[in-house]
Amino acid sequence: MIDLDVELVRGTLVVGLVISALAYHFFRVNSGGVVTAPFLAILVLTGDWINIAGWAVLSIIGFATIRLLSNRWPLPRIWLFFAGVFIPMTIHIAGLLLIQIPPFETYSTFFAAGLYVTNGLTAYDAARQGLLRTFVSAAAVTALTTLAALGMYSLTSNFGITTEALPPFVTHDPLLAFVVVAAAIVARLAFGLGTAGIIGGAYLLQIAAPETLLVVLAFTLVGAFIYKRVATFMGLSPKQAFYSLLAVGAVAAWFGLYWASLLGIPGAAAVEQYALEPLLVVGLMIGETARFGVSRTLIGTTAVGLIAWSITSLVSASIISTWVAYIITFLLLVAGLTYAFREVKRGWAAAAAGSARWGA
């Protein structure tokens, strides 16, 4: 366990993203989500083993969920992905809620263990390439990332390099995470809208100010413009492009925000107050913008943010209770999925008609 500072944490993230990308490029193996290994490495550096164990357990639950659904129904991969994310996250949130009840407070360390979205990313990779292979890959990339981080820590310590104290990580209220993920799922499946990644909306909402949003938007538009041309020119596969995008986006945001803050550009200093979130959300926004277009991504991200802000504000103002907010969110999710499922049924009907036509 070591004392982390802002540059070490950001360096760990960038190195982890690069190693994850290289692992996929050379060995065609996914490490349980491109951001999983960097986060696990940070947990290792801080000695947070209980959350690592929680991640493993919830990942297995997500893997089992995807396998169960895929064996019963021919669902599109995006539906399986969201199921693998949503079910473990819901179980994690249920654990966080349980520890507020007196009989369960004693076991808070265990019930609160785990992560929100990373478990689902690992579960989806495991469903595609095997559980053991995914865990071994995640462990290997995490180990290499941790060693690199320890090397950076040793260098900065030996040469007396001092950096800023570690800014706060964005800690998500369980309700906010639940609403953002549910809204992002509906936006994607029902309306084909892009968002700031499945959890990026929570980052934007919690660090939001007009200046910071403009900074993120500027990085996103410039990055999307460059990304489209570079990815096409280099002939990258979608997976390679996504890995490269997050790594390059994180580096660009890291150095860009540093110099923008140093030069006193409005909004940059506020974004600089957070450790990892600006580096991740820029890459996620660039990816969504390149895939869905600027207008559909901005509409989707704004809609998710407004829904999350509205529901959490009602709770903060004591207009509705937290439990009512969860119920409202769940009903909105069910309604959105019911609407989106029409397209799935059309696909099933078309497949059945094709089979009947050709005698399959």
pLDDT at position 314 is 93
* 217 and 109 co-located in one domain: no
pLDDT at position 260 is 65
Structural domain ending residue among the three candidates 166, 186, 209: 166
pLDDT at position 168 is 46
Structural domain ending residue among the three candidates 146, 166, 186: 166
* 125 and 222 co-located in one domain: no
**Helix-helix angle 322-358:174-191, to 10 degrees:** 30
* 248 and 279 co-located in one domain: yes
* 71 and 109 co-located in one domain: yes
Q: How far apart are CA 341 and CA 112, in angstroms?
A: 33
Burial of 126 (0-12, 13-18, 19+ CB in 10 A): buried
Q: How far apart are CA 325 and CA 328, in angstroms?
A: 5
Domain limits for position 287: 170-349
Q: How far apart are CA 242 and CA 308, in angstroms?
A: 27
* 96 and 244 co-located in one domain: no
pLDDT at position 66 is 96
Q: How far apart are CA 347 and CA 349, in angstroms?
A: 5
* 200 and 328 co-located in one domain: yes
Structural domain ending residue among the three candidates 166, 186, 215: 166
Amino acid at 232: T
* 152 and 179 co-located in one domain: no
Name the token pair of 346.
């059309």
* 146 and 202 co-located in one domain: no
Q: Closest by alpha carbon to 300, among 213, 219, 190?
A: 190
pLDDT at position 169 is 47
Element (H, E) at 315: helix 294-316
Q: Closest by alpha carbon to 289, among 275, 274, 299, 304?
A: 299
Contact 187, 300 (CB under 8 A): yes
pLDDT at position 317 is 92
Q: How far apart are CA 180 and CA 87, in angstroms?
A: 14
Radius of gyration of the chain (CA): 21
pLDDT at position 360 is 52
- Tens of pLDDT along the chain (360 residues) come to 677 777 788 888 888 988 988 888 888 888 888 888 888 998 898 888 888 999 999 999 999 999 999 999 889 999 999 999 999 999 988 888 887 777 756 555 555 667 788 899 999 999 999 999 999 999 999 999 999 999 988 887 776 665 555 554 445 678 888 998 999 999 999 999 988 777 777 666 666 566 666 667 776 777 666 666 666 666 666 677 777 777 777 777 777 666 666 666 665 566 666 667 777 777 777 777 777 887 888 888 888 888 988 998 899 999 999 999 999 999 999 999 999 998 888 887 777 776 666 655
* 145 and 220 co-located in one domain: no
| Residues in a beta bridge with 165 | 5
pLDDT at position 174 is 85
pLDDT at position 266 is 60
**Helix-helix angle 49-72:36-45, to 10 degrees:** 150
Burial of 69 (0-12, 13-18, 19+ CB in 10 A): middle
